[in-house]
Structure 1
Amino acid sequence: MPDRREDPPFLKACRREPTEVTPIWLMRQAGRYMADYRELRSKVSFLELCKTPDLATEVTVTAAERLGVDAAILFADILLILEPLGLDLEFAKGEGPVIHNPVVEPIDVDRIRPMADAGALSYVTEAVAQIRAALPPSVPLIGFAGAPFTLACYAIEGGGSRHYDRAKAFMYRDPAAWDVLMGRLTDATALYLNAQAEAGAQALQLFDSWVGTLSPRDYKRFVQPHMRRLFAALPADVPAIHFGTGTATLLEAQRDAGGSVIGLDWRVELDEAWDRLGPGVGVQGNLDPVVLLSTREEIERQARLVLQQAAGRPGHIFNLGHGILPQTPVDHVRALVDFVHEWRG
């Protein structure tokens, strides 16, 4: 068994071990708010950037170094996995992701091809290996994937949605077809995340960005069994972060589904949420990303409130409640990172 006493703070916090500083990383810490990223994107498409390991490595490592965060997260997209499953994915300018052959009827589930391995996503695992080699040992690398429910929503809606009415209607109308779809997405995601871990990812995050649209009853019926199976299929020695938005009513059900750390959005009080979750999991979060558009004084005030709610309990990883917004000043992000590192309560 490896000696973990000298592990970086982020990995210790994932295991709910004491750390000298509160570790911090930020969702979308490599993105449009950085001039270097915008310059690169002016030359290549988003999919090209995702599918070119050298470029994915460059933006991942540059962001981690510039911000001084305690972990880097792989630059990729949650929808990349849909292509080898048989869905025609495009990132249309000004529209976001578009799936040209969505799952409309139950019979369309048969078009979702089971994945035998993660070979079709080798460009992602190559990027993981390159990023891990480029980062210093003190900065762990987080791999990630979209959770099956969120992937199913995109597959059925054909893109983003406000109410996910098509996806939910499909779920209610034909639960058996829904379970087959979720099963195939679960199997593929497990293969994908295990491949990332084998390539060098030291933690894994599941993004269930749209699961907050469900009631607790529906979550337990239509999502929780698949998430339990997914988390059970991940490497036991690699911490798993379970993140969703709009999940104030689902926290206990998410905890029971799996994950060593539960990611919180900004719509809950961190201390109250952690009390509900209990001491058996760490928590990640949960500053409102919009706070970074305010003043440095307000950023520090709001960050202080989050840190005070965590109260120094082992297992807190500071993060936003969702991703950094494109219009965020870089110096505000860096100021947040510095403040969290300097905080001693």
Structure 2
Amino acid sequence: MLKNDLLLRALRGEETERVPVWMMRQAGRYLPDYLKLKARYDFFTRVETPELATQITLQPIDQVGVDAAIIFSDILVIPQAMGKQVLMEEGRGPSLPSVIATQQDVDALITEGVEESLKYVMQALALTKQELNGRVPLIGFAGAPWTILCYMVEGKGSKTWDKAKQFAYTQPAVAHSLLQKITDITIAYLKAQVKAGADTVQVFDSWAGSLSPADFKVYAQPYLLQIADALKDDAPVILFPKGTWYALKDLAESSASGIGIDWCISPQMAREFTGNKITLQGNFDPSKLLAPIPEIRKAVKEMIDGFGKTRYIANLGHGIMPNVPVDHAKAFVEAVKEFGVR
């Protein structure tokens, strides 16, 4: 039995005593206790050891006071489950030594057995659920098909994703077969996460904003909708296609329960585009957490006044940055709790 179910009630569109709050990337790099573990264990050891992933997941619950836990993992476990090597080098980000370039490469990918190949994620979810003991809901997650394609084709991070887009525009049939394979394994993965204990799941389309509105409708939106449709009877789904304010109207008609939005659209405009049909999540600029605490509090109040207190989850418009002081993160959470009271 959940003692704090504010997040789930907000996703169902129900009245809540106050606005729920959590932060993307809340489990990790800005917390001193996380940095101690980082000094002892490499990234994938942290991800693949259920006890470590659980410990990291719980840190912001205990130290910052958020209303939900999000499992400590990474979106690139899906390429790993599909048979691709993923390296995580300190200070350089992720890299995939072997990229996807042809239909033969796509055909060679594994899409079966994700529950077994990513068993450590399910074990971390089950252990975290046990340790939380009903304090707050537990969020599972995956990367969206377009964003995963970007990494699998480019082989590393990019500001423009030119290679990924070239791949999609010059070999559309191959791109769609890859997107469909990623979608199929992601659906199975998210269903397994719910079975293991996730109360809700979020789909991160971090690089959706690299696409034009027309191309988003071709290469990203259909696969996001497939995932939302497939999971709707399992758990509430939050879609977060960053930088795609133009798609809000379409996404509001989807099977998703929530849409995450970044800071490039006003709360009022986001409400107008979605017709208040779906719960909105966001959209505090993570950089603003570096402002003086009185400024953070003022900006939080303005954000909540803009969205209103129904069908709303306070969050950042992207992940928290490593250089944010913990007391500033706490100030953000505490300001939501103060100003988000009905």
TM-score by length of 2: 0.96
Aligned mates of 1:117, 1:205 — CA distance in 2:
18
Alignment deviations for residues 68-120 of structure 1 (CA, whole Å, 9 cap, x no partner): 11100000000011112011111012211000101123332122222244210
- Counterpart amino acid of 2:331? A
How many residues were matched structurally? 341
Whole-Å separation in 1 of the counterparts to 2:316 and 2:219: 28
Q: Distance in 1 between matches of 2:22 and 2:4?
A: 16
- Do the aligned partners of 1:225 and 1:257 also contact (CA within 8 Å) in 2? no
The aligned residue for residue 159 of structure 1 is 156
How far 1:258 sits from its partner (Å)?
A: 4.1
Code of the aligned partner of 1:309: G
Counterpart in the other structure of 1:329: 325
Q: Does 1:239 align with 2:236?
A: yes
Q: Which residue of 2 aligns with 1:201?
A: 198
Distance (Å, rounded) in 2 between the aligned partners of 1:100 and 1:239: 35
The partner residue of 1:91 within 84, 88, 91 is 88
Separation (CA, whole Å) in 2 of partners of 1:255 and 1:173: 31
Percent of aligned positions that are identical: 40
Give the conservation status (yes or no) of the 8 Å contact 1:57–1:127: yes
Alignment partner of 1:339 is 2:338: no
The alpha carbon displacement at 1:277 in A equals 1.0
The answer as to 2:316 corresponding to 1:320 is yes
Query: Which range is displaced more, 178-187 or 335-344?
Result: 335-344
Q: Which one of the candidate residues 117, 125, 128 is aligned to 1:128? A: 125
Q: Does residue 40 of the first structure (1) align with residue 68 of the second (2)?
A: no
Residues 37-186 of structure 1 correspond to what in structure 2 (within 5 A)? 37-186=34-183
Runs of 4 or more, structure 1, over 6 Å off, are none
Which segments of 5 or more consecutive residues in structure 2 lack a partner in the other structure? Answer: none
TM-superposed CA distance for 1:238, in Å, is: 1.1
Take 1:125 and 1:173, find their aligned partners in 2: how far apart are those partners? 38
Instruction: Report Cα offsets for 1:182-212 as digits up to 9, x if no partner.
Output: 1100000001000000011000000000001
Q: Relative to structure 1, is the Cα distance of residues 257 and 17 closer, same or farther in structure 2, using a 3 angstrom cutoff?
A: closer
In structure 1, C-alpha distance between the alignment counterparts of 2:133 and 2:292, rounded to whole Å: 32
TM-score (norm 1): 0.95
Amino acid at match of 2:297: E
Q: 1:23 aligns with which of 20, 29, 34?
A: 20
Distance in 1 between residues matched to 2:110 and 2:252, nearest whole Å: 30
- Structural mapping, 1:232-311, within 5 Å: 232-311=229-308
What is the CA–CA distance in structure 1 between the aligned matches of 2:114 and 2:36, rounded to whole Å? 35
Q: Deviations over 1:146-174 (max 9, x none)?
A: 00000000000001111111111111111
- 8 Å CA contact 1:90, 1:98 repeated in 2: yes
- Secondary structure of residue in 1 paired with 2:35: helix
State the Cα RMSD in Å.
Answer: 1.6
